[in-house]
Structure 1
Amino acid sequence: MRPPHQLSLITEPSFYHGVSEAAYVALLARQEDGGMRQQSFRVALLDKVIQAAPRDRDCYLSQAQFMRPNRRAVNLYSLPLLFCDLDPVSRHHMPPEEWRRAVLMVCKDEGIPPPSLIVYSGRGVHLKWILTTPLPRAALPRWNVAQKMLGERFQHIGSDPQARDASRVLRLEHTVNTKTGQRCEVIWVTDGGDGMPIRYPFDVIFDEVAPLAREQLAEERKQRAETQQSPRWHERAALTVVNGGRHGLKLINFQELAWHRLEDLRTLATMRAAQEDGPEPLQGQRMLFLFWSLNFMALSHAVKPASFWMESQALAASLGPEWRYDRSEMSTLYHKTQAYFRGEVVEFDGRKLPPLYTPRNATLIDRFAITDDEQRALRTILSQEEVRRRDAQRKRDMRRKAGAQDRQAYEATAQHRREVARALRSEGMKQREIADQLGVSESAVRHYLK
């Protein structure tokens, strides 16, 4: 017979992990020998798995969803919530009711919407803002910024700066924290009006915690672009390393661009692997893809020094399941990642840049020998010719949407009007009368009759 506590129904994860056959979540459980065991399973099996999870020991569940049964940022699928992990700032134990009051007071003072859920972890609390629509993996840079800013708002009451990443796992409801003997429980639910926890649009949370709303950031970037002057290349200052904070770095710009370039490299690798028939796809190219993918993951804050080698291993497995690479070839990139997260910057021409690699599009196109056809499937790694082609296509689409005819249709209409104008003229009709009947100007009629 199962113990009474094992019969308690776990419902908290179902509020944000929707049913999906394409995504995976990870469950970590402490074993009887004291070790931890991790298993990944499809989200569609969530209810069955968590109800079978042991309740008398530490159990953790991933908060994000992954496209493969591997809990690494490179395999990220979607982000259904924002969260914040709080621990006591001292060894003093705080009961759940004190935590609830402290959190809601901070939300009121800081102007932050209250969390959808407050979960007591047996020692601290997990704050969770469930999103109206899960964010796709492409939005990870903005999600990371929101996570960082949320953590900073709660830092004075114990926010853990190391527990903000997308691959994070948090304690599962109704399981025991073996360090304290306390059970993990939901202690607060903000009602959304339908008896369920409230859900927030991501932009609402982001604009509340960001120093400037997204529209203001866009306007500031536009103003800087209009006033910035680019000196000649031989007038630019030499590179100098500056120790200290990352003040001046365009965090959102760098992170978003780096993440989109990572996505382009994944798309490129998938296309090239599909074109090869051999048992080892991307032969001779895998180290190139691994190096630059990790560089862009670090720039986007999807990988940090502590997770660098684990993410590297997961990414290498996606490029070739049996492929093994030499760690020494990645050591320079690892040290640059450490410098980046220590806050070092490179000052160049009055700008502050990260110590990681920030290549131009032309450099990447040359290194990967990206063809014009391959560029058609990419988002950011584009030549100037491809950029101009897309701009021309975008303008054509806008003209069609506004009601303008394409060239072929326009010429067919003009030919028809010429024939009608000449026929009416042969019947003795005046040019003004022909213009009125065709709905065009007299000068157009004169042109038709030439």
Structure 2
Amino acid sequence: MKIDGNSAKNIDKAVYHAWFHHHDSDGWITVAKKTENGTFKQFHFKPQELAEELSKWLGEDVYFSQNTFYKPQRKIENIRQLKSLYVDLDFYLFNYDPSWVLGKLEHEYFGESIPEPNILIFSGQGLVLIWLLDPVPYKALPLWQAVQNHLLEQLKGLGGDPKATDAARVFRIAGSINSKNGAEVRAEYRHDYKYELRQIQFDYLPELNEAVNPVPQKKKRGRKKKVVQLFNTYKLHYARLLDLVKLVELRNYEVTGYREIICFLYRYWLCCYTNDPEEALNQTHTLNLQFTVPLPFHEVERATRSAEKAWEARNNEEANRIAIEKGYPGAGYNLRNSKIIDWLDITREEQRHLSTIIDGVEKRRRKRERDRAYQEKRRRERGDMTRSEYIKQQHDRTDNHLFAIQEMLKQGMKQKEIAKILGLSKGRVSQLVKELKKV
């Protein structure tokens, strides 16, 4: 295929943009192109393949992922490396002049409320600010999201797009064309310094820094509490997303009978985490297609529509006020682990592979394991003998009794019957039942 001079220049621009952003990346990078019906056609490449493949893709509406994935699938739970932070400024919605916006950023924002970005992407209508990071693994995603949303909050007045803050986001690549107005996408490279995520946290999010590294002091109300709550919420939603995906994997994607509730929970938690209902629905469709017997396309949207409505309520001040007055933590779905475990019939063995969707008995077992490990370490340091087998047996026996009683109660058995079967006194059974209610 013959390439003219302009096309060759645009390919060079795209290749350099991809190299500048991803030359030291590890994992899969997504390249996406919008089709005529508005959907994305996506392919995934390793960093060393990207330059060669871009020449086949360049043209209108070409995008690439800002972070990388451990398998060729652009989903939040597949993040391998967090390579950058970003904010998409849709200032054209306010009829702001581009040069005025850039001047305001230069004089009032860069180095003050936000770091100076590495790359500015002039996308044809708006402006994308990119901060390159020393790569951090997926476990840092809750902190990454907290920092990401803080940067967005600083730039809301200039059209910061809250729907463009998830870690699986794609942005236009330099040298491509924005089909909405025919403008060429261009990139401006300001510096190549890689930021450390923790350093941005320390420099620009002091409230979160105090929460992550607390110093004993009197509790204070205000913005610090709000930032801490947001950080903890991100951690919980992300952990639950990973647990849900893990559960599907444990069941070898054979989840018939649970498909609707799995898709509902996935869509709701992803809406809460990304603040992007459209992307949440797209990824829910992708999850559904992995099931051995997927739901029909229209059924996925119908069965999970209430998830998006609950997310909208969660972000509505009046809905939150009413929910709090009624004694709830807030609007939206505030699901207890016991309810999720019941809905999905999560077994004791499955819970051992999950991080947060676990019941009190599993929490107790893990705490005992941690305590044992700690005590063993202390004993080794002191040169003492190992733990008495008798104590271990007593603890294990208590755990076994708790498990057995829990299952018998589910079957509707009375405490008197349970005591007879287990060879325990009725008082001991009553004591263990009370312990189950505490956890």
Q: Above 0.5 in TM-score? A: yes
* Offset, 1:123: 4.1
Partner Cα separation in structure 1 for residue 226 and residue 326 of structure 2: 13
The one of 341, 359, 383 aligned to 1:365 = 341
**Alpha carbons of structure 1 residues 53 and 367: separation in structure 2 relative to 1, 3 Å:** closer
* Offset, 1:129: 0.8
- Tell me what 2:360 maps to: 384
Structure 1 residue ranges without an equivalent (≥5): 191-196, 228-245, 274-279, 412-450
Whether 1:335 aligns to 2:313 is no
Q: Secondary structure at the match of 2:131?
A: strand
The correspondence of residues 75-114 of structure 1 with structure 2, limited to 5 A, is: 75-88=78-91, 90-91=94-95, 93-94=97-98, 101-108=103-110, 110-114=112-116
The correspondence of residues 383-422 of structure 1 with structure 2, limited to 5 A, is: 383-402=359-378, 403-405=381-383, 407-408=385-386
CA contact (8 A) 1:28 1:59 kept: yes
Name the count of aligned residue pairs: 373
The one of 233, 236, 255 aligned to 1:257 = 236
Q: What amino acid is the match of 1:379?
A: S
The one of 214, 219, 233 aligned to 1:219 = 214
Whether 1:46 aligns to 2:46 is no
CA contact (8 A) 1:64 1:78 kept: yes
Q: What amino acid is the match of 2:338?
A: A
Q: Secondary structure at the match of 1:110?
A: coil
**Alpha carbons of structure 1 residues 221 and 24: separation in structure 2 relative to 1, 3 Å:** farther
CA contact (8 A) 2:207 2:228 kept: no
The correspondence of residues 210-359 of structure 1 with structure 2, limited to 5 A, is: 210=205, 212-216=207-211, 219=214, 250-273=229-252, 281-299=254-272, 301-302=273-274, 304-320=276-292, 322-324=294-296, 325=299, 327-343=301-317, 344-345=319-320, 347-348=323-324, 353-359=329-335
* Offset, 1:121: 2.7
Partner Cα separation in structure 2 for residue 370 and residue 156 of structure 1: 45
RMSD: 3.7
* Offset, 1:101: 4.5
CA contact (8 A) 1:80 1:135 kept: no
Structure 2 residue ranges without an equivalent (≥5): 390-439
CA contact (8 A) 2:33 2:40 kept: yes
CA contact (8 A) 2:263 2:304 kept: no
* Max Rg structure: 1
CA contact (8 A) 1:17 1:43 kept: no
- Tell me what 1:142 maps to: 143
Whether 1:130 aligns to 2:132 is yes
The one of 9, 24, 28 aligned to 1:23 = 28
Partner Cα separation in structure 2 for residue 320 and residue 405 of structure 1: 54
- Tell me what 1:194 maps to: none
* Offset, 1:12: 1.8
- Tell me what 1:277 maps to: none
- Tell me what 1:188 maps to: 189
Q: TM-score, normalised by structure 1?
A: 0.70
Partner Cα separation in structure 2 for residue 112 and residue 85 of structure 1: 14
Partner Cα separation in structure 2 for residue 248 and residue 15 of structure 1: 33
Q: Secondary structure at the match of 1:61?
A: strand
Partner Cα separation in structure 1 for residue 175 and residue 141 of structure 2: 30
Partner Cα separation in structure 1 for residue 104 and residue 375 of structure 2: 56
Identity %: 24
**Alpha carbons of structure 1 residues 326 and 202: separation in structure 2 relative to 1, 3 Å:** closer
- Tell me what 1:240 maps to: none
